[in-house]
Amino acid sequence: MSDHAGRERTGEDRTGGNRDGRDRTGRDRDGHDGGDGGGREREGGPGRVLVLNSGSSSVKYRLLEGTERLASGTVERIGEDGSPVPDHRAALESVADRLAGEGLGLDSPELTAIGHRVVHGGTAFTEPTPITDEVVAGIRELVPLAPLHNPANLAGIEVTRRLRPDLPQVAVFDTAFHATIPPAASTYAIDRELAARLGVRRYGFHGTSHAYVSREATRLAGDPDARVIVLHLGNGASASAVSAGRCVDTSMGMTPLEGLVMGTRSGDLDPAAVLYLARTGGMSLDEIDELLNRRSGMLGLCGDNDMRSVTERVEAGDEDAELAVSVYCHRLRKYVGAYYAVLGTVDVIAFTGGVGENSAPIRARALEGLEALGIAVDPARNARGDTVVSPEGSRVKVAVIPTDEEYEIARQTLSVISHHAG
């Protein structure tokens, strides 16, 4: 188990750039400036919220009061051979013990609520939802759509409900922000009856990040009707088109495999390639799943999914790394152009996530050649990692906005609690 006074490193933070916990503008990677929380809204009023992200083999937590982080950490290797943490109950008890040791225990009367990240809400859950027995059953029904994630999310929910049955708990769904996508963008062109019966459609993911960053980008634009493209680039990567705060398209689809090139995932691929791999390559469905999700993307192209080392290899003249970055940035540029068309025009393009926040070369190459659309990157601003990295007077602001998914989960949790209390 690890605990940190600063922002904990996530699985998407192996990407290069500043490692001092603050960007070049003086903000930490949570977007905090040490003052009023960067002007962020405090919907739901003040309150102490424990945010839990229960994964298959880890539990990440953060305790927040308003915009202030009181504690954070990670319990890892849950259920692995030789691990002192046999299951999620033990992991959550470990979290409770650590918080209690700092005088911030789960039994604290100051704890207002617990917010849980849940990966897949399907079409049933399109907003943050107070957790009840019926909601737990609904999340369980969605396990086939997210077999690696929803069971782990449920484990965290079930344990904390036993530990604090009196405390309001809220499920915040990765898919919910994308529920506003219109049918033209969410519908796959296959048999409609089959698609409806099996839930085959675009759901989108990274929703809490896209919600937070698009709201900050809208504030930066100074226009509540701003049209924003968010590029969440980490080991997982996704893009979204947002108009007046509503998502109208996103790159991830029924699963997080579709869309951009990622650390180990292929992103967009001709579906017939899967048939070819099975019929001609003799691969099983499980082997293809393993290939596309864990042995593709940057790892498959150049043997490395750490963007820091990949860009260093490019600078050293490595041809495999150069091809990998070219493919990665071509896909990004293609989505930027597509979403420009979907939105009609663009006010802000926001880079976020480990790669988006820290890799100046990727930001520059991804938007290269788009000057005719009013999109450009200023080399000096980009190298410094300024909040706005486009030239002065550019038609489209290009911004670097550190994401804060835990804060967004806490914000949505307090908003739900406040609404139901009223």
Q: Which residues are catalytic?
A: 174
- Cross-sheet strand order for the sheet of 246-250: 246-250, 237-243, 227-233, 348-352, 397-400
CB 158 within 8 A of CB 239: no
Q: Which parts are annotated binding residues for ATP? A: 60, 232-236, 306-308, 354-358
CA angle 14, 17, 20 (to 5 degrees): 95
Alpha helices in 190-284 (DSSP H): 192-198, 207-221, 271-279
Q: Which parts are annotated binding residues for Mg(2+)? A: 53, 405
CB 92 within 8 A of CB 60: no
Of 310, 304, 297, whose CA–CA distance to 358 is shortest?
310
Of 338, 334, 356, 340, whose CA–CA distance to 395 is shortest?
340
User: Can you tell me the distance from the alpha carbon of 335 to that of 117, in angstroms, rounded to the nearest whole number?
Assistant: 27
Q: Which parts are annotated binding residues? A: 53, 60, 117, 232-236, 306-308, 354-358, 405
The sign of the CA dihedral 127, 131, 133, 137 is positive
User: Can you tell me the distance from the alpha carbon of 160 to that of 176, in angstroms, rounded to the nearest whole number?
Assistant: 22
User: Can you tell me the distance from the alpha carbon of 104 to that of 284, in angstroms, rounded to the nearest whole number?
Assistant: 49
Give the H/E segment covering residue 351: strand 348-352
CB 348 within 8 A of CB 220: yes
Instruction: Report helix, strand or coil for 172.
Output: strand
Of 129, 125, 136, 127, whose CA–CA distance to 162 is shortest?
136
Q: Which parts are annotated binding residues for substrate? A: 117
The amino acid occupying position 237 is A
CB 158 within 8 A of CB 186: no
Inter-helix orientation angle 207-221/405-421, to 10°: 90
Please tell me what DSSP assigns to residue 388: B
